[in-house]
Structure 1
Amino acid sequence: MFAILRGHPLTRSPVMAKVALTVQRRNMYCKPPKDRIGAGQTVFTMLVFAFTLLFPAGWIMHHIPYYRSRPPAQP
Protein backbone atom coordinates (compact mmCIF):
# COMPACT_ATOMS: atom_id res chain seq x y z
CA MET A 1 0.00 0.00 0.00
CA PHE A 2 2.66 2.52 0.99
CA ALA A 3 4.79 1.60 -2.01
CA ILE A 4 1.95 2.72 -4.25
CA LEU A 5 1.74 6.06 -2.47
CA ARG A 6 5.50 6.63 -2.80
CA GLY A 7 5.39 6.29 -6.57
CA HIS A 8 7.27 4.15 -9.03
CA PRO A 9 11.02 3.99 -8.27
CA LEU A 10 11.97 4.72 -11.89
CA THR A 11 9.93 7.93 -11.98
CA ARG A 12 11.49 9.42 -8.84
CA SER A 13 14.62 11.47 -9.07
CA PRO A 14 17.86 10.18 -7.51
CA VAL A 15 17.82 13.15 -5.13
CA MET A 16 14.44 12.12 -3.72
CA ALA A 17 15.66 8.55 -3.33
CA LYS A 18 18.70 9.78 -1.38
CA VAL A 19 16.51 11.96 0.85
CA ALA A 20 14.25 8.99 1.58
CA LEU A 21 17.25 6.86 2.57
CA THR A 22 18.60 9.64 4.76
CA VAL A 23 15.28 9.98 6.58
CA GLN A 24 15.10 6.24 7.21
CA ARG A 25 18.64 6.05 8.57
CA ARG A 26 18.16 9.00 10.88
CA ASN A 27 16.05 6.90 13.27
CA MET A 28 18.65 4.16 13.75
CA TYR A 29 20.28 3.96 17.16
CA CYS A 30 23.21 1.63 17.78
CA LYS A 31 24.39 2.35 21.32
CA PRO A 32 23.32 0.30 24.35
CA PRO A 33 20.84 1.91 26.73
CA LYS A 34 22.22 4.25 29.40
CA ASP A 35 20.14 2.71 32.19
CA ARG A 36 19.28 -0.96 32.43
CA ILE A 37 15.59 -1.73 32.87
CA GLY A 38 14.93 -4.32 35.53
CA ALA A 39 12.40 -7.12 35.59
CA GLY A 40 10.18 -5.24 38.03
CA GLN A 41 9.92 -2.21 35.78
CA THR A 42 9.21 -4.42 32.79
CA VAL A 43 6.44 -6.32 34.58
CA PHE A 44 4.92 -3.09 35.91
CA THR A 45 4.93 -1.52 32.45
CA MET A 46 3.35 -4.59 30.86
CA LEU A 47 0.65 -4.72 33.55
CA VAL A 48 -0.23 -1.05 33.10
CA PHE A 49 -0.33 -1.48 29.32
CA ALA A 50 -2.56 -4.57 29.56
CA PHE A 51 -4.83 -2.87 32.10
CA THR A 52 -5.32 0.20 29.92
CA LEU A 53 -6.23 -1.99 26.94
CA LEU A 54 -8.37 -4.61 28.67
CA PHE A 55 -10.21 -2.60 31.35
CA PRO A 56 -12.55 -0.69 28.97
CA ALA A 57 -13.40 -3.89 27.09
CA GLY A 58 -14.05 -5.72 30.36
CA TRP A 59 -16.27 -2.89 31.59
CA ILE A 60 -18.38 -3.05 28.44
CA MET A 61 -18.61 -6.86 28.54
CA HIS A 62 -19.64 -6.76 32.22
CA HIS A 63 -22.42 -4.24 31.54
CA ILE A 64 -23.88 -5.86 28.40
CA PRO A 65 -26.94 -7.21 30.30
CA TYR A 66 -27.65 -3.69 31.57
CA TYR A 67 -27.29 -2.24 28.08
CA ARG A 68 -29.68 -4.88 26.67
CA SER A 69 -32.32 -4.28 29.35
CA ARG A 70 -32.55 -0.54 28.71
CA PRO A 71 -35.37 0.63 26.45
CA PRO A 72 -34.24 2.00 23.09
CA ALA A 73 -33.56 5.72 22.92
CA GLN A 74 -36.37 7.92 21.65
CA PRO A 75 -35.43 10.09 18.64
Structure 2
Amino acid sequence: MSALTPLLLRGLTGPARRLLVPRAQVHSKPPREPLGTMDVAIGLTSCFLCILVPAGWVLSHLESYKKGE
Protein backbone atom coordinates (compact mmCIF):
# COMPACT_ATOMS: atom_id res chain seq x y z
CA MET A 1 0.00 0.00 0.00
CA SER A 2 1.26 3.41 -0.80
CA ALA A 3 1.34 6.42 1.45
CA LEU A 4 -1.49 7.99 -0.54
CA THR A 5 -3.99 5.22 0.19
CA PRO A 6 -5.19 6.63 3.56
CA LEU A 7 -5.63 10.06 2.00
CA LEU A 8 -7.57 8.60 -0.91
CA LEU A 9 -9.84 6.61 1.39
CA ARG A 10 -10.41 9.63 3.62
CA GLY A 11 -11.41 11.63 0.55
CA LEU A 12 -13.89 8.97 -0.54
CA THR A 13 -15.54 8.52 2.84
CA GLY A 14 -15.50 12.20 3.85
CA PRO A 15 -18.94 13.12 2.47
CA ALA A 16 -20.50 10.05 4.06
CA ARG A 17 -19.22 11.10 7.49
CA ARG A 18 -20.85 14.50 7.24
CA LEU A 19 -24.35 13.07 6.84
CA LEU A 20 -26.21 13.05 10.13
CA VAL A 21 -28.84 10.37 10.45
CA PRO A 22 -31.58 11.40 12.88
CA ARG A 23 -32.19 8.95 15.66
CA ALA A 24 -35.68 7.65 16.25
CA GLN A 25 -37.39 8.88 19.38
CA VAL A 26 -38.66 5.56 20.71
CA HIS A 27 -40.17 5.50 24.17
CA SER A 28 -41.82 2.40 25.49
CA LYS A 29 -44.36 2.17 28.23
CA PRO A 30 -45.81 -0.76 30.10
CA PRO A 31 -48.84 -2.30 28.37
CA ARG A 32 -52.26 -0.93 29.25
CA GLU A 33 -53.54 -4.45 29.85
CA PRO A 34 -51.02 -7.14 30.78
CA LEU A 35 -51.17 -10.38 28.83
CA GLY A 36 -52.92 -13.22 30.56
CA THR A 37 -51.73 -16.80 30.80
CA MET A 38 -54.21 -17.95 28.19
CA ASP A 39 -53.09 -15.26 25.72
CA VAL A 40 -49.46 -16.31 26.09
CA ALA A 41 -50.34 -20.00 25.78
CA ILE A 42 -52.34 -19.43 22.58
CA GLY A 43 -49.58 -17.30 21.05
CA LEU A 44 -46.79 -19.78 21.85
CA THR A 45 -48.86 -22.73 20.68
CA SER A 46 -49.66 -21.09 17.35
CA CYS A 47 -45.98 -20.14 16.80
CA PHE A 48 -44.79 -23.66 17.55
CA LEU A 49 -47.47 -25.22 15.34
CA CYS A 50 -46.57 -22.95 12.42
CA ILE A 51 -42.97 -24.15 12.66
CA LEU A 52 -43.31 -27.76 13.72
CA VAL A 53 -46.24 -28.96 11.60
CA PRO A 54 -44.54 -28.28 8.23
CA ALA A 55 -41.28 -29.76 9.52
CA GLY A 56 -43.13 -32.85 10.73
CA TRP A 57 -44.85 -33.20 7.36
CA VAL A 58 -41.53 -33.14 5.54
CA LEU A 59 -39.94 -35.61 7.94
CA SER A 60 -42.88 -38.02 7.74
CA HIS A 61 -42.82 -37.99 3.91
CA LEU A 62 -39.03 -38.05 3.59
CA GLU A 63 -38.95 -41.51 2.01
CA SER A 64 -41.35 -40.51 -0.75
CA TYR A 65 -39.25 -37.41 -1.43
CA LYS A 66 -36.11 -39.54 -1.75
CA LYS A 67 -37.73 -41.85 -4.35
CA GLY A 68 -38.58 -39.14 -6.79
CA GLU A 69 -41.05 -39.60 -9.58
TM-score (norm 1): 0.59
Shift of 1:35: 1.3
Alignment: residue pair count: 57
Q: Measure, in 1, the Cα distance between the counterparts of 2:58 and 2:68.
A: 14
CA root-mean-square deviation: 2.3
Q: Measure, in 1, the Cα distance between the counterparts of 2:65 and 2:58.
A: 9
Gaps of 5+ in 2: 1-12
Mark the structure with the bigger radius of gyration.
2
> Percent of aligned pairs with the same residue?
21
Gaps of 5+ in 1: 1-7
Query: Are residues 1:17 and 2:37 paired?
Result: no
TM-score (norm 2): 0.63
